[in-house]
Structure 1
Amino acid sequence: MKTATEVGGDYYDFDLAPEGTLTVAIGDATGHGIPAGTIVTATKSLFNILSREPDLETM
């Protein structure tokens, strides 16, 4: 296995909730390198937090 030499901005994630709902997120941050990687990291964290929120309207 080779290690990555660049950071990209491509993103996908999914979450299967306990009640069986599947949520899928697909994205592409503009550019490459640290700025794009930072945006993808923040997006993934936000997705994981919001996917566990049962009622988004209360936020």
Structure 2
Amino acid sequence: MKDAGRQGSVKTRQGSINTAIGGLGRAHDREVIEDLVAAVIGLALIVYLGFALAHPERF
């Protein structure tokens, strides 16, 4: 009888850990999206600055 209470306790803790890990997955997805947006903006700036350096008369 005492073991059944312990099992329930362990399952409850495991559920809260799984919930926390699931939350980290979503946070990780947001970080990946932010990194992709930053990479696109950085690449656009490099292209713009390269074009401005190659053709300064247009600016």
User: What's the TM-score bracket when you normalise by the shorter of the two chains?
Assistant: 0.3 to 0.5
The one of the two structures with greater contact order (alpha-carbon pairs below 8 A, sep at least 6) is 1
Which protein has the bigger strand share? 1
| Bigger Rg over Cα | 2
Which protein has the bigger helix share? 2
Q: Normalising by the residue count of structure 1, what TM-score does the alignment of the two structures yield?
A: 0.37
Q: Normalising by the residue count of structure 2, what TM-score does the alignment of the two structures yield?
A: 0.37
